[in-house]
Amino acid sequence: MTNTTTIPTLAGDGSFTAYRAVPAGTLKAAIVVIQEIFGVNAGIRRKCDTLAEAGYLAIAPDLFWRLEPGIELDPDVKPEFERALELMGQFDQDKGIADIEATIRAARGELGDGTKVGAVGYCLGGRLAFMTAARTDIDASVGYYGVGIDGLLGEKHAIANPVLLHVPEEDHFVDKAAQAAMHAGLDDHPKVTIYDYAGEDHGFATEFGERRSDASAKLADERTAAFFAEHLG
């Protein structure tokens, strides 16, 4: 079952919508699905649906609601891609983390405080997944091709729960120096695991479109599924 829910902000200054996919059988845990710069589009909704099929309550908050509520963009359409970059430039990431935290609290409120909640994010969401691990009480976090994580390494000491990062080696938004810095800063962190994907570029695990690289996407998703099975139950 899928629907749209409304979540109040922690600051009490508004509310935002979230796509919600509910498993048909026994519920294992909840997972917050963090959007790319393209909004909660068909690809992100499909990520939620797949997680629900695996037994998780999946919730994808509309993090661009302060800029343009409900926007959905296609990365394969140039004007829409350019619009996504504009939105990224205007996006307040600290408020985005607050909205993710509100989503975590909403999930715990619905399912009970004993329920574990994870997060998985893509692109911008991959970066926000790392920030969520450092700034909230999320139980487990996965980031796909997060941008600028090398600039967030000062927050790694605050990561208390498991983190998994998928890093394509040919990511044109994350150069080799940034990747090297991520490994240097995180390889010895007891809670962080990094997988590299040779020959792959940014967006390789998208559900739809030209960016998808099927074999590597399936491998990354299998690793994510095993990670959540281990850490969320």
For the annotated catalytic residues, the residue numbers are 171, 202
**DSSP tag of 203:** T
Residue 41 structure tokens? 């589009």
CA atoms within 13 A on the CB side of 102: 24
CA separation for the pair 200, 187 (Å, rounded): 20
Residues 6+ apart with CB under 8 A from 100: 32, 34, 61, 63, 119, 128, 132, 136
Determine which helix (DSSP H) or strand (DSSP E) holds 61, and give its type and residue range.
Answer: strand 56-61
CA separation for the pair 43, 125 (Å, rounded): 13
Beta strands per DSSP E along 75-169: 117-122, 140-144, 163-168
> Which amino acid would we find at residue 45?
R
Cβ burial of 14 (10 Å; 0-12, 13-18, 19+) is exposed
Determine which helix (DSSP H) or strand (DSSP E) holds 222, and give its type and residue range.
Answer: helix 214-232
For tokens 């970059």, name the residue.
85
